[in-house]
Amino acid sequence: MRPAIVLLGVSGRKAAELAVRTLDGELHGFAPRVGGCAVDFMEVGAHLRQLFVEDRPIIGVCAAGLLIRSLAPILADKRREPPVLALAEDGSAIVPLLGGHHGGNELARRLAEALDIRAAITTAGDLRHGIALDEPPPGWRIGNPEMAKEVMAAILAGQSVTIENDTPVAADWLGGLPVVAGAAQRIIVTARQRSPVDGLLLHPQILVLGVGCERLAPAEELIALADSALAAADLSPLSLACIASIDLKAAEPAVHALSRHFGVPARFFNAARLEAETPRLTTPSDIVFRETGCHGVAEGAALAAVGEAGQLVLPKRRAARSTVAIALSPAILDPAAIGHERGRLTIVGLGPGSAEGRTAAADATLRDASDWVGYRLYLDLLRPMTAGKTLHEFDLGAEERRVAHALDLAAGGRHVALISSGDAGIYAMGSLVFELIERGGRADWARIEIEGLPGVSAMQAAAARAGAPLGHDFCAISLSDLLTPWPAIERRLKAAAEADFVIALYNPVSQRRRTQLAAAREILLQARPSETPVVLGRNLGRVEESLRVTTLAALDPETVDMLTVVLIGASTTRRLARPDGGAWVYTPRGYGAKSEEGAA
């Protein structure tokens, strides 16, 4: 996860920008004092705590005490804390405060080198030996974490250690320790299942569990089969680097349940890549080939994941509806370099357009996604956050091409953010995603993991600015006849008018469409008073924002454009004068009548 470089004042800007460049970080700025940052925030303590619970590494360009006081209320488990570092505003000091063994010390060293200073590292193991046994490097897992502190304490007290290694991997990162054969303190590097009393168990991630299963096979069966296979081979699940399978199974619930069971990612290969492993399979199957395009899924995926230098250590084992096999690599495996992950498409609503109008979930997705797809104007609203992202910009009117491109990217294993303004599920790209999948554009589109994130819609933003016009039953109607015939829109307007809904009108006019809003006004005037309040919200959440309150009779279509949302009140909607000369608009829910009933 990219570190958050938290800048509180302009005097620290130079140091903050150097930290962004050095650590590939994301600049978060305290909005009242600094601008032009990827992320703006208003409440310092709340923002720091939110980053902390998200497990984001934090580099605060501020006093250490401010970070300590802000985070103290939520500190609980040192094994689950992200790195938190204090960087002096002038770049003269860098201090890891929390998470030193979770990457904080390494971040401090990198920053110190860039700043040409010495990092203020205080953890004893790092200072004496440059090693933290309780925080091994990527690709290693600890079998008995409680032993790490005990062994490190003994080493710091002057004792030596014995290192036993029964794997093909050299544990070079332990080279700084005082090693003597036969010492009482033992570090055991192994991929096998060992008793925790034997010593400190370090497991290199050099195993891959290849899996295959029928459609909707029970997760319980696959998990039990995998557990029994590891036990039969006397192998530790802590040495698993990933689960591997064919991409036809990318959406299979059992495969992802197995991934969660072992706490490792699931990676996928296409049939052609697995078919290339046929000469190394122990039980190639023509039946499997006819169904999948390769002669073996479990063994083929395991072997493809470990590469030519790897080997099968447990041939295929079968249950009623699933199969597994295990392969061993002679080197640490990086799951990100194996096959591809299940593609993800997140449909993101930006809200009105400002940073404050986006949800925290939307911002988190934008930070995490590798690719952003959207209309050029929407991407322009996010320019401060685009560092490190691949942007796919489309002109207005290319909606199907835009969504199909996002689906193609996700089908290739990317995490794609499909971006709309407002709420992506309201007159935006959300419904088109599922429509294209249903049309059957590509079979692998249906295997993508799809999530929709709500945004603040234009009608919500306008209503909040105006008061509470949506306080009772309401509906939304688009006046655009590009996709919906005008007679259908007319019927909906008449029905909504008769039912006395508050009505949010989207797409009220465009350069070509100039008559629909006037027609809608006439339809509504037949059913509700001429003085019915109307709210016109334009460019809400942006610099050009404007909000006007008028009446249904006075509504002038010439003052409305395609960036305007129109809220037309019900017969019960009220206009209330404000002390500053403006007006609030609200629709009573009926609490007054309820109060009178209670009093009676």
CATH of residue 394's domain is 3.40.1010.10
Determine the pLDDT at residue 137: 84
Dist CA 367 CA 388 (whole Å): 9
Model confidence pLDDT, tens digit, residues 552-565: 999 999 999 988 99
User: Is residue 324 within 8 Å of 316, Cβ to Cβ?
Assistant: yes
Whether 130 is covered by a domain: the verdict is no
Phi, psi of 433 (to 5 degrees): -55, -50
In the chain, pLDDT over 90 holds for what percent of residues?
70
User: Is residue 418 within 8 Å of 389, Cβ to Cβ?
Assistant: no
Determine the pLDDT at residue 127: 43
Determine the pLDDT at residue 85: 94
- Whether 413 and 483 map to the same domain: the answer is no
Determine the pLDDT at residue 376: 87
Whether 592 is covered by a domain: the verdict is no
Residue 141 pairs with which residues in a beta bridge? 203
Residue 294: pLDDT over 70: yes
- Whether 148 and 104 map to the same domain: the answer is no
- Whether 515 and 420 map to the same domain: the answer is no
Dist CA 172 CA 127 (whole Å): 18
Whether 403 is covered by a domain: the verdict is yes
Which is nearest to 399 in space by CA: 480, 488, 459? 480
- Whether 351 and 446 map to the same domain: the answer is yes
Residue 592: pLDDT over 80: no
Looking at residues 507-536, what average pLDDT do you find?
A: 92
Model confidence pLDDT, tens digit, residues 80-106: 689 999 999 999 999 999 887 678 888
Dist CA 418 CA 372 (whole Å): 6
The better pLDDT of the pair 430, 381 is held by 430
Residue 173: pLDDT over 90: no
Whether 319 is covered by a domain: the verdict is yes
Whether 133 is covered by a domain: the verdict is no
Looking at residues 331-343, what average pLDDT do you find?
A: 95
Residue 355: pLDDT over 80: no
The region of weakest confidence among 48-52, 122-126, 332-336 is: 122-126
- Whether 222 and 326 map to the same domain: the answer is yes
Model confidence pLDDT, tens digit, residues 138-162: 899 999 988 888 887 888 778 888 9
- What total of structural domains would you count in the chain? 5
Whether 131 is covered by a domain: the verdict is no
The better pLDDT of the pair 397, 515 is held by 515
Question: Which of 456, 486, 514 lies at the terminal end of a domain, its last residue?
Answer: 456
Identify the three-state secondary structure at position 177: coil
CATH code, 286: 3.30.420.180
- Whether 57 and 118 map to the same domain: the answer is yes
Dist CA 582 CA 353 (whole Å): 24
- Whether 259 and 288 map to the same domain: the answer is yes
CATH code, 98: 3.40.50.11220
In the chain, pLDDT over 70 holds for what percent of residues?
96
Whether 595 is covered by a domain: the verdict is no
Question: Which of 180, 204, 228 lies at the terminal end of a domain, its last residue?
Answer: 204
Domain that holds residue 380: 344-456
- Whether 23 and 86 map to the same domain: the answer is yes
- Whether 227 and 319 map to the same domain: the answer is yes
Dist CA 207 CA 544 (whole Å): 57
